[in-house]
Structure 1
């Protein structure tokens, strides 16, 4: 259990007052499910005017964490955060397992619609998986999307009859079928 009165920052960092001219920039929150280097790069570029202020960099970084990442941060030992470089290093080590692994288009064949999953959720999950593939092959992606559908689904039957559609066309049709499934 995290004790709000115990600071994870050293006394030097904790005692520094915020700058009067500092205005909190907008940050994309890190929830623990993406590449830590990407988040650090975004954070550093947003805080570029304050990069020489170690104390501010540490304190503000903590506000960019949410969910599991915030929980992780709160497990750090009291007074253990001495510098932003140290914090960055510990953060990167903790979340290094989320580094992108280059996958090929055929990886999409692992996506199947689960029986209890809504059609809309399957499409959303498939799109997210496709986005992680650099230079995906449209033909393979279409085949994988179609193969992931139940054979008795109306869209599956429609797709096997149409050969001239792109993946974007598949997703447009899928949206229509998602609405139809939800109306039933």
Structure 2
């Protein structure tokens, strides 16, 4: 687990009690998983004086668990491989997308489209009828994935209307 996400999630759940720093320290261990709980149990009695010090010490110990965000240009390196299904390509793409911080809808749309094989029907559809949001892109991808899955199952020759 990413330590920044963990502390943020804990703080968010405890918002109504954020003024009670003693309570924050006492409840914090209940949010920990086994490895972190062993660390916490190993702390010397009275070695932590505040909730701020607790989160700082926690962060120092689990610094290697911090997720490093990728730059937006990481998406440029992704492309659909010959013989790869749309589902596999889009799964790889969205996994990388989720590791990028920021709001770059136009870049996301263009890099996904550019990564598709030139002859792929979805690429042709995205070129002919533009999408303007990531949500629209995901909807269009889902339509084409369903067609691809139907064709793989031999359940007919469905056709997507762009």
- TM-score tier (shorter): 0.5 to 0.7
Is the CA contact (8 Å cut-off) linking 2:74 and 2:96 kept in structure 1? no
> Residue 48 of structure 1 aligns with which residue?
18
> Residue 132 of structure 2 aligns with which residue?
166
> What is the RMSD of the two structures over their aligned residues, measured on CA atoms?
3.6
> Residue 112 of structure 2 aligns with which residue?
145
> Residue 95 of structure 1 aligns with which residue?
63
Unpaired runs of 5+ residues, structure 2, are 153-162
Give 1:96 shift.
Answer: 7.1
Give 1:174 shift.
Answer: 0.7
Give 1:76 shift.
Answer: 5.1
Given the two structures, how large is their TM-score scaled by the length of structure 1? Answer: 0.56
Separation (CA, whole Å) in 1 of partners of 2:7 and 2:26: 18
Separation (CA, whole Å) in 2 of partners of 1:58 and 1:97: 21
Of structures 1 and 2, the one scoring higher in RCO (CA 8 A, sep 6+) is: 1
Separation (CA, whole Å) in 1 of partners of 2:122 and 2:78: 16
Give 1:64 shift.
Answer: 1.7
Count of paired positions: 143
Is the CA contact (8 Å cut-off) linking 2:10 and 2:31 kept in structure 1? no
Q: Please state if 1:121 is matched with 2:85.
A: no
Give 1:32 shift.
Answer: 2.4
In proportion to residue count, which structure has more helix?
2
Separation (CA, whole Å) in 2 of partners of 1:182 and 1:142: 23
SS in structure 2 of the partner of residue 118 of structure 1:
helix
Q: How does 1:21-60 map onto structure 2 within 5 Å?
A: 31-32=1-2, 34-35=4-5, 38-39=8-9, 41-42=11-12, 45-48=15-18, 50-51=20-21, 53=22, 56-60=23-27
